């Protein structure tokens, strides 16, 4: 019989890691087991931290990402060495682009076996360094708490950009004892994020620009989470039109008079001052180009430097926690009447409401195709009725995501983000639901996107996570099919088979039902909602064409992401030259 490893006490490195996480309020870790991380695994369990064991490491990071997003804190994933880390890298990359605070823990071979061809021996830190805010291998037990403290501070953006961090440990280090003298109380304590006050001159400049604007526009993003009350107060005081662009959906109620989501193109081109609140000027906002925004000046508020100066510098830039910055902005403008053209703002809202009403009516009356297959909007209208408007919605895919993003109302919203990381759906749904027990969480995904992490339905079943998964099944990577058909004259390698995903769900213990007729949808969704976790596989028309497919997103124009914006950019550059 081989000799057993030494006992894993609470004073081992693995024990100290688990105790530190618990002290910091971490109650759930998303993980896939392996020998190199077994000491951490067992000590997490000993400390009463829930382990949600997954089927693929990237899903562990996706779940940690969504869990942290919905809980407003740090998400934690634990993955084993070698392929465990390489599998996790897509999830790490997505969190990196989304600026999501995620701690990823792993292991490496014992130190006497390093660089000798050991099982799963690879330098993980070299692989993940460009995707993380901090990446270290911790070999000395005396440094474990110091490194954990630094990594978690970096992840949460204490003094810099928030985002994923990575630590790994040789397995022999995990079994070693941390000297009692170095288990200092201050390293176990959770630390609140620094909250520097906004610089008064920058706030005064921002207030002058915004309250002096005739056509101000407010756009929120990641950084506005947790500042919904202050954001609504700003909109009430300023009367400016508002766009959320997905990152902050749910912060401002759809019924608020500032919301003009259906008028995105018009308001972006007409605004004279644009306030970005914790939002990068990425491809979804035309990189802030004058070709899209005309001669508008920008005011930029964020707690992260990159959201102040990417692509367009602000005429005023305020680096501070968003709630503090908005409160200071309101105080600086107190008693002042905004110069906004109210007729312009009212007209935008009226046209938004008209378009939104037409869209809702069109969703409910969308005709079936020649083969009798329902339009994706028909599916979305039925889902809206089933889940209400306060649910957490995770939208995933290409073509179907475009329909869902425009057509659904919800209380909170997650999607693949600006990395375009399709396949997050089921994993995000699991993480979101575990962070918000009692809320309805609906995953709305295309069949192609669902396939990336389809096995995570097993995770939902085993852990009894009550999510609703709705698969829009058109048997294709449909946005690419449209692109190939229109621009290349033939379809190559972008069609899928007519698979029964409901049968797969039933095989793993979920309630599963397949629907082919619109008339059967309401009852099927009701049955699914009563038997969560559940999956409803719905046959939809491949002929339906989303707004993203129509705008040229798939064929990737040279200068801008959309064909119309690309043409505008070319014209602007020519005229500017």
Instruction: Please write the tens of the pLDDT for every residue from 160-178.
Output: 899 999 999 999 999 999 9
Asked if pLDDT for residue 552 goes beyond 80, the answer is no
* Four-residue CA torsion sign, 386, 399, 418, 287: negative
| Rounded CA separation 262/355 (Å) | 6
| Rounded CA separation 529/536 (Å) | 10
What's the whole-model pTM score? 0.95
**Segment (H or E) for 323:** helix 322-332
**Segment (H or E) for 512:** strand 511-515
Which residues does 22 contact at the CB level (< 8 Å), separation at least 6? 47, 48, 49
Residue 212 DSSP class = T
Do the beta carbons of residue 541 and residue 403 sit within 8 Å? Answer: no
| Rounded CA separation 246/242 (Å) | 12
Do the beta carbons of residue 145 and residue 188 sit within 8 Å? Answer: yes
353 labelled catalytic? no
What mean pLDDT is predicted for residues 492-509? Answer: 95
| Rounded CA separation 25/29 (Å) | 11
Which of 47, 307, 317, 480 is catalytic? The answer is 480
Alpha-carbon Rg for the chain in angstroms: 25
Do the beta carbons of residue 148 and residue 167 sit within 8 Å? Answer: yes
Omega of the bond prior to 76 within 30 degrees of 0, cis?
no
| Rounded CA separation 173/110 (Å) | 7
- Phi, psi (degrees; rounded to nearest 5) at 474: -115, 10
The conformational region for residue 234 under phi > 0 = left, psi -120 to 50 = alpha, else beta, is alpha
Per residue in 324-338, pLDDT (tens digit) is: 999 999 999 999 999
Do the beta carbons of residue 221 and residue 324 sit within 8 Å? Answer: no
So what's the pLDDT on residue 218?
98
The conformational region for residue 149 under phi > 0 = left, psi -120 to 50 = alpha, else beta, is alpha
3-class SS at 251?
Answer: coil
**Segment (H or E) for 76:** strand 75-78
- Phi, psi (degrees; rounded to nearest 5) at 413: -145, 135
So what's the pLDDT on residue 511?
98
Which residues does 499 contact at the CB level (< 8 Å), separation at least 6? 447, 473, 475
Band of pLDDT at residue 71, cut at 50, 70 and 90: very high
Q: Which segments of 133-175 does DSSP mark as H helices, in order? A: 144-155, 171-175
Asked if pLDDT for residue 428 goes beyond 90, the answer is yes
**Segment (H or E) for 449:** helix 447-452
3-class SS at 299?
Answer: strand
Which residues does 533 contact at the CB level (< 8 Å), separation at least 6? 457, 460, 461, 464, 465, 466, 467, 468, 469, 510, 511
Query: Burial of 1 by CB count in 10 Å (0-12 exposed, 13-18 middle, 19+ buried)?
Result: exposed
So what's the pLDDT on residue 2?
64
What mean pLDDT is predicted for residues 432-440? Answer: 97
So what's the pLDDT on residue 405?
84
So what's the pLDDT on residue 247?
82
So what's the pLDDT on residue 565?
93
> What mean pLDDT is reported for the chain?
94
Asked if pLDDT for residue 577 goes beyond 70, the answer is no
So what's the pLDDT on residue 483?
85
Instruction: Give per-residue burial for 401-420: e unless 16+ CB within 10 Å, then b.
Output: bbbbbbbbbbbbbbbbbbee
Which residues does 457 contact at the CB level (< 8 Å), separation at least 6? 426, 469, 504, 505, 508, 510, 533, 535
Considering only CA atoms, which of 105, 103, 88 is closest in space to residue 54? 88
So what's the pLDDT on residue 407?
76
Considering only CA atoms, which of 526, 525, 463, 420 is closest in space to residue 67? 463
Instruction: Give per-residue burial for 202-229: e unless 16+ CB within 10 Å, then b.
Output: bbebbbbbbbebebbbbbbbbbbbebbe
3-class SS at 217?
Answer: strand
Range of weakest confidence among 166-175, 233-242, 301-310? 301-310
Residue 107 DSSP class = E
Considering only CA atoms, which of 132, 44, 29 is closest in space to residue 75? 29
Report how far Cα 558 is from the mean position of its chain's Cα atoms. Answer: 26
Angle subtended at Cα 411 by Cα 406 and Cα 413, rounded to the nearest 5 degrees = 55
Which residues does 484 contact at the CB level (< 8 Å), separation at least 6? 490, 491, 492, 494
Per residue in 77-135, pLDDT (tens digit) is: 999 999 999 999 999 999 999 999 999 999 999 999 988 888 889 999 999 999 999 99
What mean pLDDT is predicted for residues 196-225? Answer: 96
Considering only CA atoms, which of 521, 517, 405, 502 is closest in space to residue 447? 502
């Amino acid at each position: 019989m081989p000799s057993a490893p030494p006992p894993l006490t609470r004073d081992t490195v693995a024990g100290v890691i688990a105790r530190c996480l618990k002290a910091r309020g971490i109650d759930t870790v998303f993980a896939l087991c392996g020998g190199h991380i077994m000491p951490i695994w067992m000590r997490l369990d000993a400390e009463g931290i829930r382990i949600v064991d997954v089927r693929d490491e990237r899903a562990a990071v996706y779940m940690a990402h969504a869990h942290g997003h919905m809980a407003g804190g740090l998400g934690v994933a634990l993955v084993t060495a070698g392929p465990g880390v390489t599998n996790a890298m897509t999830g790490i990359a997505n969190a990196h682009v989304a600026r999501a605070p995620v701690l990823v823990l792993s292991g490496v071979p014992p130190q006497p076996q390093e660089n000798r061809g050991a099982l799963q021996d690879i330098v993980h830190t070299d692989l993940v360094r460009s995707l993380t805010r901090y990446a270290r291998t911790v070999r000395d037990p005396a440094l474990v708490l110091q490194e954990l403290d630094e990594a978690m501070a970096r992840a949460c953006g204490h003094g810099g950009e928030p985002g994923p961090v990575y630590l790994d440990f040789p397995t022999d280090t995990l079994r070693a004892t941390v000297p009692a003298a170095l288990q200092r109380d201050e390293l176990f304590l959770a630390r609140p994020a620094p909250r520097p006050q906004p610089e008064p001159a920058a706030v005064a400049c921002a207030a002058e620009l915004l309250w002096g604007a005739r056509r101000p526009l407010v756009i929120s993003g990641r950084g506005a989470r947790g500042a919904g009350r202050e954001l609504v107060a700003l909109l009430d005081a300023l009367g400016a039109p508002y766009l959320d662009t997905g990152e902050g959906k749910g912060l401002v109620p759809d019924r608020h008079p500032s919301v003009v989501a259906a008028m995105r193109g018009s308001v972006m081109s007409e605004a004279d001052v644009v306030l970005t609140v914790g939002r990068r000027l990425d491809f979804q906002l035309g990189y802030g180009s004058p070709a899209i925004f005309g001669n508008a000046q920008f005011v930029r508020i964020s707690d992260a430097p990159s959201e102040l100066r990417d692509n367009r510098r602000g005429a005023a830039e305020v680096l501070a926690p968003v709630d503090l910055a908005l409160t200071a902005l309101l105080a600086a403008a107190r008693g002042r009447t905004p110069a906004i053209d109210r007729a312009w703002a009212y007209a935008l809202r009226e046209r938004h409401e008209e378009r939104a009403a037409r869209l809702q009516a069109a969703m409910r009356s969308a005709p079936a195709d020649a083969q009798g297959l329902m339009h994706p909007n028909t599916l979305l209208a039925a889902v809206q009725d089933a889940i209400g408007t306060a649910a957490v919605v995770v939208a995933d895919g290409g073509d179907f995501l475009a329909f869902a993003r425009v057509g659904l109302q919800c209380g909170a919203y997650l999607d693949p983000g600006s990395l375009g990381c399709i396949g997050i759906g089921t994993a995000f749904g699991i993480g979101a639901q575990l962070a918000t027990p009692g809320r309805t969480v609906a995953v709305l995904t295309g069949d192609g996107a669902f396939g990336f992490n389809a096995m995570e339905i097993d995770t939902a079943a085993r852990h009894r996570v009550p999510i609703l998964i709705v698969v829009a099944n058109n048997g294709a990577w449909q946005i690419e099919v449209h692109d190939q058909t229109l621009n290349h004259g033939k379809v190559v390698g972008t069609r899928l088979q007519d698979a029964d995903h409901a049968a797969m769900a039933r095989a793993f213990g979920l309630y599963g039902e397949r629907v082919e007729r619109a008339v059967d949808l309401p009852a099927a969704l009701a049955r699914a909602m009563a038997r969560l976790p559940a999956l409803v596989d719905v046959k939809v028309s491949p002929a339906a064409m989303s707004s993203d497919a129509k705008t040229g997103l798939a064929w990737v124009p040279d200068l801008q992401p959309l064909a119309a914006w690309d043409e505008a950019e070319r014209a602007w550059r020519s005229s500017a030259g």
